[in-house]
Structure 1
Amino acid sequence: MTGAPAVAVTGLGLITPAGDGTRPTWEEVCRGRPAAAADPRLSGLPVDFSCSLQEATALGRGAPARSSWRMSPVVKAAVSASHDAVVDAGLDTASWDATRVGVVVGCGIGDLTQWRIQALRLVDKGPISVSPLTMPMALPNMPAGEVALSLGIHGPSLATATACASGASALMTARGLLTSGLCDIVLAGGAEMAVDPLTMAAFHRMGALSTRSHDISGASRPFSPERDGFVMSEGAAILVLERTRDAAARGRRPRAYLAGCGASTDAYHPTSPHPQGAGSEIALCQALRDAGLAPADIDHVNAHATSTPLGDAAEAAMISRALPHGPTVTAPKGVLGHALGAAGAIEAALTVLTIEHQLVPPTANLDGAAAEGTLNHVTDKARPQRVAAAISNSFGFGGHNVVLAFTSDLPA
């Protein structure tokens, strides 16, 4: 049974460690060159490397100069990606009905750096030293709020917080705003700029981060037998979603269609996935039913695969069981690292580009056989392939699972 109608993806905005923009990000991901490098912000920590944005990245473009001073980096990243996505979609903000436009931006943490700095000021110098901008800079809903403010959007602006599935949750929420009739256009995705000594120390203490300091470029290695944890990343991705009839009415050819969504909760452990991926399989099956697709219709899987031993093993088991026909699998975090709340949106955008270009990027650092050897991994170089339907998996602490199904054409 098919669920809600598919919606059109008409614009993309990407800002990642691989590049400032959709095209440079896509090209570097297809080259399979890891972005991990030593990070001076983390000097002296047990893990002192990350996948950080390039120095030339222009955060905050599209925001009025009079307001960019009050924005934290995560807000600026969201605003920049939104501006790029609107331009890419060919939308005219002066002529759209702003009350019918919505914003949904996933953010797992917000500006933790601001919280840390202001807490130190409070302890060292007292309450009078705390910045009055602390709250508007640090809250995780502010990327959505400031995107709406910068573009003059008067429809709903929402923030989703499902840890590392936040960006994917935002897209699922946005689809609902369109199919319910509440909005005609929704800017949806995720933003995260959480590379900070505090987050790094906390994740390291959990044993979640790679400690491969002798081989930084090889530290993020999804599905590899030598994987030992994820590499922290940052960035933003915004997708412009519209009802298909509205995109057609303005002569806009969709880049792809968001055809189905599924979500579930493991209810197994606060941070560890169900060992066999039982919860994520529920989300995948929901997404297929919602899109009116059978398992055998899926040509490609964009895996969540963070490069952690438990997480990758659970996802591999789930994909093998749910999609036994062997669709191609790629894991962008080998190049980009793990951008937490932005990851699901970044990878959804990459799935759209895979469909658009009929090209599957490789999983970086998967040099030999995968630890779980039953999947059809794309390695070494990008692989041309007919991709009519693909899924993008996103999972997060708290047991959150979100699976998005994208197609090249409207489902029958």
Structure 2
Amino acid sequence: MIQDFLKFASEKALFQKGDRLLLAVSGGIDSVVMAHLFWEAGFDIGLAHCNFQLRGTAADEDAIFVENLAVELEAPFYSIRFNTAQFADEQGISIQMAARQLRYEWLEEKREEGNYTAVATAHHLDDSIETLLYNFSKGCGLHGLHGVPVRQGRIIRPMLYAYKATILNFAENRTISYREDQSNFEDKYARNHIRNQVIPAIRHINPSFSETATANIQRLQEAGLLMDWAVTRLKAELTENGPDGSLRINLERLRLEKAAPTLLYEWLKPYGFHAAPLARILHGGARTGAILYAHGYRLLLNRGMLLLEPLPDSVNERSFEILPDVEEVAVPDGRFEFKTVAPPDVFDTAPTTAYLSLGPADYPLRLRHWQPGDAFQPLGMQGRRQKIQDLFSNLKLSRFEKSRIWLLETIDGHICWIAGLRIDERFKIRPETAFCVRIDWIKGE
């Protein structure tokens, strides 16, 4: 196995003799086998372990195991304890996302401090197949079907040549000890469900599914290279870069291309724009003057051209102006979608959806964060005024939670919606309301 390990690393130019490598080691079989492979190959390594404090004493025992492994391999040991659940709550993200963010940020810090060449993680081919299936089930483009990348910046994945079975066999033959994470056998996480339920079901159809999927990933990666080449070539033909970071897109010419929606999305994805509103613009679903906002950018539809430009620093990621034709606003922690509709017979009761009675005189609207002194008239309180700080106190929101709340206000400064919490009495739907604005607050994953 070690020869295949070194051959793969050489072919992918992951590391070379003389490199210092920081290994992310959980204590599970994959990372422990990776550590043994690096050690047997004679590399200068360090072992880094994250305790996310999600599994009680088992997590503490994992940390002790990895520390002992570092002693056995005569390697420096680094460890940290995270309050992952608290961080996830404060950031409004899932536990898995929180753990991933905390882990990679800390690993990069340790890499720089220790002057390591790269950080190695122990993802293998089965992980790559699970990633393909997960992304496919959630919806993605061609690049989302490439599986786990071999390299991402300073992160390398030298085990992506091996299947789980190969790793198990190596550990058994060498009598290598490792820790077993019992949560891997629970199906409450989507990836675990794919691993424990979906892939075994597919193997009833194709017993060689792992090999088939690996070959498919290779073909999809090559197709991705061809697509990138075409996207770059056509961007040079159909767009024009401005000196101030702006971009002009010939929309009429773009519409003649067979893959126009994909081209437009690939060009604008790096700026934070999403596929659905771009497709609406492309297919004539928006009028001249419509604006989309993303992270630090705005996109204007103007007489057959799309004009992309950076937002001024005064409004960049602090507040967002919303004109009547705006269909989506991307903010750092998610996005807002706007749609003019007839009042429904049955309203969506999700707190992240609001139906507001807004007229032309209320525009432009503005999205911003809460500020001390803000007040509104809560729905159902017969026009009585309430400070938003008092609402937050009643809901027992933390300081971090309050700082993430978005407010939608009219041109006159009237707050019409506290996103995810409460709408204002003045903007509720009444019997005489013919049209209203439906707003959906979609938090980032």
TM above 0.5, yes or no, is no
Pair member with larger Rg: 2
User: TM (normalized to structure 1)?
Assistant: 0.29
User: TM (normalized to structure 2)?
Assistant: 0.27
Say which structure, 1 or 2, has more relative contact order (CA 8 Å, 6+ apart).
1
